[in-house]
Amino acid sequence: MSETKKTNIILFSGDYDKAMAAYIIANGAAAYDHEVTIFHTFWGLNALRKDEPIQLKKNFLEKMFGRMMPRGVNKMGISKMNFAGFGPKMIKDVMKKHNVMPLPDLIDMAEEQDVNLVACTMTMDLLGLQKEELMDDIQYAGVAAYLADAEDGAVNLFI
């Protein structure tokens, strides 16, 4: 039995505020010397998308999903009080004022702290997302790999 405690977070949500919560907990747990994994599934995959559009062959439905979903964290909405996109701007203004790290910086920090960023291959397939559209240096896995980590997890969360 390993001495290192594990924190495993499933990020299902595509909301900016929920992704922030996931990455704040992940960075905290990494600072606590946990082995930390964020398993991005469904709309949570959008947190891993590159900002720029990538040219790829896709069918009609995949193109529609690709266009409707936010490209990268800066386009994500918030779960409450979105007000046609006004909410995220307000939150970001307040964050800047209070020196709270915005989401892209939290993701950078997670990478520096060796948090495992995993993209769920089943939902990538489902939403027509391809590896070229996601950040480099991330891992790819399915539910079996998640469970192998989670069954020994000290902290398991679904966000």
Contact positions vs its own copies (CB under 8 A): 5, 7, 10, 12-14, 17-18, 21, 24-25, 28-29, 31-32, 34, 41-43, 61-62, 64-65, 68-69, 79-81, 90-91, 93-95, 97-98, 100, 122, 125-128, 143-144, 146-148, 150-159
Q: Name the residue type at position 47.
A: A
- Write down the least CB distance from residue 129 to its own copies, Å: 11
CA distance 24 to 21: 5
Between 104 and 136, name the residue whose CB sits nearer to its own copies: 104
| Contact criterion met (CB below 8 Å) for 120 and 142 | yes
Q: Min. distance of Cβ 18 from its own copies in angstroms?
A: 7
Q: Is 99 helix (H, G, I), strand (E, B) or coil?
A: coil
Smallest gap from residue 142 Cβ to its own copies (A): 8
For its own copies, give the closer residue by CB, 123 or 138.
Answer: 123
Q: Which is nearer to its own copies, 135 or 152 (CB)?
A: 152
Phi, psi dihedrals of residue 145, rounded to the nearest 5° = -65, -40
Identity of the residue, 1 or 137, whose beta carbon is nearer to its own copies in the bound complex: 1
CB of 45 vs its own copies, minimal distance in Å: 12
Distance between CA atoms of residues 75 and 15, nearest Å:
10
CA-nearest of 11, 3, 42, 15 to 110 is 11
The dihedral through the CA atoms of 134, 140, 145, 149 has a sign that is negative
